[in-house]
């Protein structure tokens, strides 16, 4: 989906390694039967050494015995700024529909095994980037008076143990086969009166704002350029939602919030850990995961260097760290949202310059 416009870099990748997506997957409700292509989860064997943890939890209950807990399940949205599940949890607390919030991230052992072709499901450098992103998310949540429970295990097994009857689980909607398969399994395993709420939030334009028949999108077409032209002329990018204020996410009382996994917990060998201790010799940047690093890169590319002003001329370069934005790894893991980049770009055009590069 190549484009001559910088704006088109802002869409995060829909596909994850090993997953498949169809237009039907975009609109199939959770638990919606067999419409999706068969999940590939069963083909990946957990890597030896990947650890699993389950713990005891305390739960706030109402007088009628129902939980007032909201579980915020992070996946490919490792940020607190412009994250709809984070702002959604804060809104539930503000309205009195929830009393406590439990953010959680699960390192799924299936992501760190071998594919049927004996290749690594997640390579050592990506594993390091993921771990850095999760730990940065934990730091960001602590800064607003919350925290992140990090679990080693399958989400459909871990989350029901921390979501008692009556809980609400918020997570970003995904469209690929592996992610949607996990969603269906989790929904089946949740307790009575508990719900799994899928929130769209990964794309530059919101799914509901697309100028196509909803919810089937059957008239969307398969060619990118007409899609882009129609969307840009008829749609508006929603403004990013701010990070929660301190105290907006009252933390649930749980054990082991101090648990901090290492690459060894993810099953990396000593040789692999040593190999990623320094940047790859052919890497143009020392890519580190996390929302704070992503926002710093955005600031660098726009405000510190004005590199964006020459993007059209340099975007096809092959060497060096500055010929393009290099936002892709942070977008793919949700360390920054495309809407945040778009909003900052609009500010740049107002305050510095607007040209074909921007």
Give CA torsion, residues 21, 22, 23, 24, to 10 deg: -100
Q: What is the pLDDT of residue 218?
A: 85
Phi-psi bin for 146: left (phi > 0), alpha (psi -120 to 50), beta?
Answer: beta
Token reading at 67: 């939980």
Radius of gyration (C-alpha) of the chain in whole angstroms: 21
Q: How far apart, in whole angstroms, are the C-alpha atoms of residue 236 and residue 261?
A: 40
Burial 246-283 (b: 16+ CB within 10 A, else e): eebbbbbebeebeeebebebbbbeeebbeebeeeeeee
Reading phi first (left if > 0) and then psi (alpha if -120 to 50, else beta), residue 65 is in: left
**pLDDT value for 346:** 98
Nearest to residue 110, comparing CAs of 53, 50, 150?
50
Distances (CA, A) of 208 to 68, 163, 228: 29, 29, 16
Which residue carries 């760190």 as its tokens? 112
HSE, side-chain direction, 13 A CA sphere, residue 138: 18
Q: What is the per-residue pLDDT for 97?
A: 94
In angstroms, the Cα distances linking 242 to 79, 87, 259, 263, 302 are 11, 8, 28, 31, 20
242, exposed or middle or buried, with CB in 10 Å at 0-12, 13-18, 19+? exposed
Report yes or no: 99 and 250 within 8 Å, Cβ to Cβ.
yes
pLDDT at 20: 55
Q: For each of the chain's 358 residues, which pLDDT tens digit applies?
A: 233 333 333 333 333 444 555 443 443 333 333 222 222 222 334 444 444 333 333 344 444 444 699 999 999 999 999 999 999 999 999 999 999 999 999 999 999 989 999 999 999 999 999 999 999 999 999 999 999 999 999 999 999 999 999 999 999 999 999 999 999 999 999 999 999 999 999 999 999 999 998 667 889 989 999 999 999 999 999 999 999 999 999 999 999 899 999 999 999 999 999 999 998 888 889 999 999 999 999 999 999 999 999 999 999 887 889 999 999 999 999 999 999 999 999 999 999 999 999 9
* 69-74 and 149-152 strand pairing: unpaired
First CA to last CA across the chain, in angstroms?
18
Helices (H), the chain: 23-27, 84-94, 124-143, 155-162, 177-189, 224-234, 270-275, 291-299, 311-314, 328-332, 338-351
Pairing of strands 149-152, 100-107: parallel
Give how far Cα 304 sits from Cα of 297, 298, 309, 320, 347, Å. 10, 9, 12, 17, 14
């Amino acid at each position: 989906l190549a484009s001559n416009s910088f704006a088109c870099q802002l869409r995060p990748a829909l596909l994850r390694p090993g997953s498949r997506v169809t237009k039907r997957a975009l609109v199939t409700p959770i638990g919606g039967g067999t419409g999706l292509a068969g999940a590939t989860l069963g083909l990946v064997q957990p890597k030896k050494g990947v650890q699993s943890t389950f713990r005891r939890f305390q739960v706030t209950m109402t007088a009628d015995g129902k939980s007032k807990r909201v579980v915020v399940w992070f996946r490919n949205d490792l940020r607190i700024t412009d994250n709809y599940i984070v702002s959604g949890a804060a809104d539930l607390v503000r309205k009195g529909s929830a009393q406590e919030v439990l953010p959680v991230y699960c390192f799924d052992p299936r992501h760190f095994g071998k594919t049927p072709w004996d290749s690594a499901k997640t390579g050592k450098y990506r594993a390091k980037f993921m771990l850095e992103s999760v730990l940065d998310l934990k730091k960001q949540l602590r800064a607003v008076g919350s925290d992140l429970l990090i679990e080693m295990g399958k989400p459909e097994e871990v989350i029901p143990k921390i979501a008692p009857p009556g809980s609400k689980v918020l997570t970003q909607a995904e469209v690929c086969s592996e992610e949607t398969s996990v969603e269906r399994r989790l929904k089946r395993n949740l307790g009575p009166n508990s719900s799994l709420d899928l929130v769209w939030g990964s794309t530059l334009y919101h799914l509901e704002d697309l100028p196509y028949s909803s919810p089937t999108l059957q008239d969307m077409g398969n060619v990118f350029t007409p899609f882009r032209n129609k969307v840009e002329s008829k749609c508006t990018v929603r403004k990013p939602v701010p990070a929660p204020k301190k105290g907006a996410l009252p933390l649930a009382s749980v054990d082991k919030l101090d648990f901090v996994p290492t690459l060894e917990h993810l099953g990396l060998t000593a040789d692999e850990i040593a190999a990623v201790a320094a940047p790859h010799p052919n890497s143009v940047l020392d890519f580190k995961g996390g929302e704070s690093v992503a926002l710093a890169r955005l600031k660098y590319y726009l405000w510190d260097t004005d590199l964006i002003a020459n993007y059209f001329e340099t975007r096809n370069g092959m060497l060096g760290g500055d010929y393009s934005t290099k936002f892709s790894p942070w977008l793919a893991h949700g360390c920054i949202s495309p809407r945040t980049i778009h909003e900052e770009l609009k500010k740049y055009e107002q305050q510095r310059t607007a040209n074909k590069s921007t």
